[in-house]
Structure 1
Amino acid sequence: MVTVEDVQAARDRVAETTRQTPLEYSHTFSAMTGAVVHLKLELFQRTGSFKLRGATNRIATLSDEERANGVVTASAGNHAQGVALAATRIGVDSTIVMPEHAPISKVKATRSYGGDVVLYGEDYDEAAERAHEIEREEGRTYVHAFDDDYVMAGQGTIGLEIYDELPEVDTVVVPIGGGGLISGIATALKGLDPSIRVVGVQAEGASSVAESLRKGERIERDSVETIADGIATRTVGERTFEVIRECVDSVVTVSDSEIAVALTTLLERSKTLAEGAGAVALAAVIEEKFDYEDDEVIVPALCGGNIDLNTLTNVIVRGLVETGRYLRIKTVLKDRPGALEELVGVLSDQQVNIYAIEHDRTNRDVAMNDAEVELDLETRGPDHVDELLAALREHGYPVEVLV
């Protein structure tokens, strides 16, 4: 099993390629939760993710023959970029297999770092199968995204940085996909101070670790579905699962809606952009998925900032919907002059901003002299939404909430 000494040795290997990322106290999230929240901003790492640490440590240990033959890996995006950059920096050829639907931004970034990208499969696991075929066909060294001692040790250097800057930390909250990140961080922290609590967080749609811990053995999900693509793995690694069972205090899950709220709140209040996987730790703190005391010193690890812009748009809308600041409704008007003006008057009285209005006079589900109307509205919160819907219904408008 990886040790704190392995993590300390990794720090020397990765020092020239990676940067020490900020650990910042957050007034916003401390006030929101009652805890003393410091954000570990690993999303400011080179390549925008912690994955560079583990990839650099693993590639630094290759033999001369292995360097000559090159490396191969599979990744949803962040590990891909880490391997590509780490390999390119020491002159090693890299082939990266990514799922066919990997975010375009991550595919482009991986290629820009010098990796030869192969798109294959529906998810990480199918991409990994193809990567192992390439490993056998071309004699390359497979750089696992998480289930490797050197990779875990490299990721664990984040734990050393947290402890160096904030030795009084009580709880560190870490995302879990395959388990490499939390295994490394937990190993480092428990090796330095066993009293530090380590909490893992998974997306509900990819909760293989939480389910495996409940059953006492590794399980594999049939599929994964989450906006947190960076942690969308069907199962946890064999080696990482053992470390998690030994060193991690608890594992919780968060929904995609909760991730969206955390991401949009982080963007709006802290002016910091995280990807879905990078926001899950903060979501667990905001939503109180685990018990903590007032004034407890908590560090959520925000470990990725590589979000596709199209995904970001959808996530922001989802976050606004969840916080009652965006509403799409459908209603029916009499198809006569002034009917729309009357509806707008009700909305105006409720101080609602109208983004868009769409008429449909051809819908067979409404009377011949009626028109169906869909409206996109800006609202000020859940209470405002309730007041608006009540006012519309009081004025005789049948209302269906679409979003």
Structure 2
Amino acid sequence: MGFDESNTSREIRELALAAEKRIRPHIRRTPMEPAADLSRENEGRVYLKMESMQHTGSFKVRGALNRLLAMDESELRAGVITASSGNHGLATAFGMNRLGIDGTIYLPENASPLKVSMLKDLGAAIRFHGADCDRTEAFARQQAEKTGKIYISPYNDTYVIGGQGTIGLEILDRLPHVDCILASVGGGGLITGIAGAVKAVRPETTVIGCLPENSPAMAVSVQSGRILDVPMQETLSDGTAGGIEPGAITFDACTRLVDRWQLVSENDIRRAMVLVFERHRLVIEGAAAVAVAGFLKLAPRLTGKTTVIVTCGRNIDMGVFRTVVCPKAVL
């Protein structure tokens, strides 16, 4: 079941406000880092919304916690199953630990070794299935149906979307007149939550979805008017890689709420990671760099705008980060 076509932003804002009350004791209000170097690119004011500083190193904890905290007694007794390329799994494991809920996390066989290690450190029960996120999610959902456990989607869930929408509430608290927000897009939960929470009170704010050229499923689907099975290639943005499940409520919401789509190359992603490290001494993962790269490509069209770039996570393997930042170094 999706959102009301005429009231999508208002519905999502209400979900975000309810989520704010549930999850506030458990999450961080992440910093808004002024970015002087990026501000020079568009002769405006640019901020990094540092979701990379959130618990578990990613924004995902907001949505996962909101879903877990909204479970009733029968759901709590049943336990949960989820699927993830890593960050949603980490967020769900964090929430399960904090709330004392049992569950299993399914990962694709090529999941980031760092994220697998972090999940093990959290004591999560993990299983591997499939060579990509789409197969993993489909299998995990089937297992939930067979066992009677509650499936927590990484994006296709109103509670998850509401949790991510709390980022939009925090942005407006700091910058009530924000002109533009850029966020990376995989399944669309992050940008749907932010766009709804913001546009319900400030519809003139431009929301831009940024995706890697190697995995552009949502952008291609929205531009085609239907969810498509879009081929993907390997990308540094493993956190946004993969397709969109049939009937995902984020598709229609993205169609209505996202004003522009921007694709970036793998070289663009690398340059953005290096820039943020060199200028801010901050480590961000590929998915976060996608939004920074999107801004750099669009900066001439955003002249003078007060802009927020959501840096969605920091969970990147050291070996991968080293090859990006210091490709010729011998350590």
TM surpasses 0.5: yes
1:191 pairs, out of 184, 200, 209, with: 200
Question: Relative to structure 1, is the Cα distance of residues 40 and 281 closer, same or farther in structure 2, using a 3 angstrom cutoff?
Answer: same
Q: Indicate the residue corresponding to 2:284 in structure 1.
A: 274
Give the TM-score, by structure 2 length: 0.93
Q: Indicate the residue corresponding to 1:345 in structure 2.
A: none
Q: Indicate the residue corresponding to 1:204 in structure 2.
A: 213
Q: How does 1:158-173 map to 2 (within 5 A)?
A: 158-173=167-182
Q: Indicate the residue corresponding to 1:258 in structure 2.
A: 268
Q: Indicate the residue corresponding to 1:64 in structure 2.
A: 73
Q: Indicate the residue corresponding to 1:371 in structure 2.
A: none
- C-alpha distance in 1, partners of 2:279/2:42? 14
- C-alpha distance in 2, partners of 1:161/1:6? 14
Which amino acid in 2 is paired with 1:55?
Answer: A
- C-alpha distance in 2, partners of 1:287/1:6? 32
1:317, distance to aligned residue in structure 2 (A):
4.5
By percentage of residues, which structure has more strand?
Answer: 1
1:288, distance to aligned residue in structure 2 (A):
2.2
1:99, distance to aligned residue in structure 2 (A):
1.0
- C-alpha distance in 1, partners of 2:296/2:283? 17
2:296 pairs, out of 258, 263, 286, with: 286
Which amino acid in 1 is paired with 2:270?
Answer: A
1:87, distance to aligned residue in structure 2 (A):
1.4
Contact 1:182 1:244 in 2 (8 A): yes
Contact 2:83 2:107 in 1 (8 A): yes
- C-alpha distance in 2, partners of 1:3/1:156? 7
SS in 1 for 2:200: helix
Which amino acid in 2 is paired with 1:284?
Answer: G
Which digits, 9 at most, give the CA deviation of each residue in 1:315-360, with x for residues without a partner? 2256xxxxxxx6xxxxxxxxxxxxxxxxxxxxxxxxxxxx79xxxx
Gap runs ≥5 in structure 2: 4-10
Q: Mean alpha-carbon deviation: is it higher for 112-121 or for 299-308?
A: 112-121
Give the TM-score, by structure 1 length: 0.77
Q: How does 1:345-356 map to 2 (within 5 A)?
A: none
Q: Indicate the residue corresponding to 1:347 in structure 2.
A: none
Which segments of structure 1 move beyond 6 Å, counting only runs of 4 or more?
none
Which amino acid in 1 is paired with 2:153?
Answer: H
Gap runs ≥5 in structure 1: 319-325, 327-354, 357-403
1:110 pairs, out of 116, 119, 144, with: 119
1:20 pairs, out of 19, 25, 29, with: 29
SS in 2 for 1:11: helix
SS in 1 for 2:263: strand
- Higher RCO (C-alpha under 8 Å, 6+ residues apart): 2
Question: Percent same amino acid among aligned pairs?
Answer: 36
Contact 1:279 1:302 in 2 (8 A): yes
Contact 2:179 2:205 in 1 (8 A): yes
Q: Mean alpha-carbon deviation: is it higher for 145-154 or for 306-315?
A: 306-315
Q: Indicate the residue corresponding to 1:124 in structure 2.
A: 133
Which amino acid in 2 is paired with 1:292?
Answer: L
Which digits, 9 at most, give the CA deviation of each residue in 1:229-282, with x for residues without a partner? 000012366200111111111111111110000001100111011000011111
